[in-house]
């Protein structure tokens, strides 16, 4: 199975077997991201793995799992979207190996200090004690027409990216994203947080935007669609119905019509 195929089959896993994950795979996780799509080598990140027996992970809505992967990053512009983009590729990669996972947005670490970095997210993972996959029809997600603003029908290339985007997981399944589609671009927006806890919530929404971005980048690669992810000054100041601009996918090759 490929990461692309995993997009249409994965689900959060909340029950795990105690079985060990091979050290080779754990080592792969510790070095994950160097070949990932959307990786920004200029943003320093670090992965750490904790075992349940370490008793290092605690907090709200915690899923009991044998392992937890924590992603740290230096704090800079786009660090949350970058972290989401990397972690979701890890989720899909683990799925291709038969390993389940579940984001732990409410979890904390006993000690999350890391020189010059901050904790972005924790991911519970391990061998599943429940079905690893679900059918496409069983994804509970908003319809594309609720998420996409477009003049006229969607082009074929755009649809190939937006359907995988629609299936992306998000905290509390809130799907805090919107897409504005033009002939050669897909602009990504995230929900504008309320005043209380604005920065924290915006960081979370940007992490979610990174998840959705990873699905679109993987789909573009699958379908040989040439594009670049950019932040366009012309869109930066725009907001659509309580949403803030996160970035744009700019098609650089020929884009087929519907
Ligand atoms: C950023 C983020 C944080 C999440 N935090 C939690 C959590 O703390 N506990 C939990 O059980 N699930 C958590 N989830 C899982 C979501 O509830 C789940 O992805 C969503 O409901 C969609 O379901 P699916 O992953 O099965 O497709 C989180 C997901 C994301 C993307």
Assess whether 96 and 151 both reside in one domain.
Answer: no
Q: Is residue 34 part of a domain?
A: yes
Assess whether 19 and 86 both reside in one domain.
Answer: yes
Tokens of 13: 């896993």
Give the domain-ending residue among 76, 91, 126.
Answer: 126
Residues 171-226 pLDDT 10s: 999 999 999 999 899 999 999 999 999 999 999 999 999 999 999 999 999 999 99
Give the domain-ending residue among 75, 96, 126.
Answer: 126
Assess whether 12 and 120 both reside in one domain.
Answer: yes
For the segment 17-33, the average pLDDT, to the nearest whole number, is 97
Residues 100-143 pLDDT 10s: 999 999 999 988 888 899 999 999 999 999 999 999 999 999 99
Assess whether 110 and 159 both reside in one domain.
Answer: no
Whether residue 172 has its Cβ less than 6 Å from ligand 1: yes
3-state secondary structure 156-180: HHHHHHHHHHHCCCCHHHCCCEEEE
Q: What percent of the chain has pLDDT over 70?
A: 98
Q: Sign of the C-alpha dihedral, residues 139, 143, 148, 151?
A: positive
Tokens of 108: 């904390």
- Give the residue, by CA position, lying nearest to ligand 1 atom 1: 171
For the segment 69-92, the average pLDDT, to the nearest whole number, is 97
- The CA distance from 202 to 175, in Å, is 13
Whether residue 242 has its Cβ less than 6 Å from ligand 1: no
How does residue 256 score in pLDDT terms, banded at 50, 70 and 90?
low
Assess whether 117 and 153 both reside in one domain.
Answer: no
Q: Exposure of 52 by Cβ count < 10 A (0-12 exposed, 13-18 middle, 19+ buried)? A: middle
Q: Is residue 133 part of a domain?
A: no
How many separate helices (H) and strands (E) can be counted in the chain?
Answer: 7, 12
Answer yes or no: pTM beyond 0.85.
yes
Tokens of 103: 């984001």
Q: Is residue 221 part of a domain?
A: yes
Assess whether 85 and 164 both reside in one domain.
Answer: no
pLDDT at 257 over 80: no
For the segment 67-78, the average pLDDT, to the nearest whole number, is 96
How does residue 255 score in pLDDT terms, banded at 50, 70 and 90?
low
The structure tokens 């950019």 sit at 230
- Give the distance (Å) from ligand 1 centre to CA of residue 128: 16
Instruction: Provide the pairing of β-strand 118-126 with 243-251.
Output: unpaired
pLDDT at 258: 43
Total number of domains constituting the chain: 2
The domain in which residue 63 lies consists of 3-126
Q: Is residue 135 part of a domain?
A: no
The CA-based angle 171-172-177, given to 5 degrees, is 60
Q: Is residue 258 part of a domain?
A: no
- Give the distance (Å) from ligand 1 centre to CA of residue 41: 27
Give the domain-ending residue among 104, 126, 148.
Answer: 126
- Most informative mutation of 125, 141, 168, 170 for ligand 1 (most atoms within 8 A of CB): 170
- Give the distance (Å) from ligand 1 centre to CA of residue 233: 32
Exposure string of 174-187, with b = 16+ CB inside 10 Å and e = fewer, is ebbbbbbbeebbbb
pLDDT at 216: 98
Q: Is residue 207 part of a domain?
A: yes
What atom of ligand 1 comes closest to residue 107's alpha carbon?
Answer: 8
Q: Is residue 257 part of a domain?
A: no
* Torsion on CA atoms 81, 169, 96, 131, rounded to nearest 10: 160
Assess whether 168 and 212 both reside in one domain.
Answer: yes
Q: Is the separation of the CB atoms in 58 and 110 below 8 Å?
A: yes
Q: Is residue 214 part of a domain?
A: yes
CATH code at 107?
A: 3.40.109.10
Assess whether 148 and 171 both reside in one domain.
Answer: yes
């Amino acid at each position: 199975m490929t990461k692309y195929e995993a997009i249409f089959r994965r689900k959060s896993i909340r029950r795990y077997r105690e079985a060990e994950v091979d050290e080779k795979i754990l080592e792969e996780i510790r070095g994950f991201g160097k070949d990932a799509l959307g990786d920004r080598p200029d943003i320093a990140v670090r992965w750490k793995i904790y075992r349940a027996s370490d008793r290092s992970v605690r907090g709200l809505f915690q899923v009991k799992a044998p392992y937890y992967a924590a992603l740290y990053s230096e704090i800079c512009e786009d660090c949350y979207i970058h972290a989401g983009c990397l972690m979701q590729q890890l989720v899909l990669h683990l799925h291709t190996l038969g390993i389940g996972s579940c984001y732990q947005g409410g979890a904390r670490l006993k000690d999350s200090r890391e020189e010059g970095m901050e904790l972005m997210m924790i991911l519970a993972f391990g061998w599943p004690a429940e079905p690893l996959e679900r059918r496409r029809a069983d994804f509970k997600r908003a319809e594309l027409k609720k998420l996409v603003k477009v003049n006229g029908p969607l082009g074929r290339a755009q649809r190939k990216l937006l359907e995988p985007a629609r299936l992306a997981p998000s905290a509390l399944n809130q799907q805090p994203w919107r897409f504005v589609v033009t002939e050669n671009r897909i602009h990504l927006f995230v929900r504008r947080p309320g005043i209380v806890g604005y920065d924290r919530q915006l960081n979370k929404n940007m992490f979610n935007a990174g998840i959705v971005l990873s699905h679109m980048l993987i789909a573009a690669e699958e379908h040989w669609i040439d594009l670049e992810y950019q932040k366009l000054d012309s869109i930066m100041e725009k907001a659509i119905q309580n949403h803030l601009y996160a970035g744009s996918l700019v098609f650089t090759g020929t884009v087929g019509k519907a």
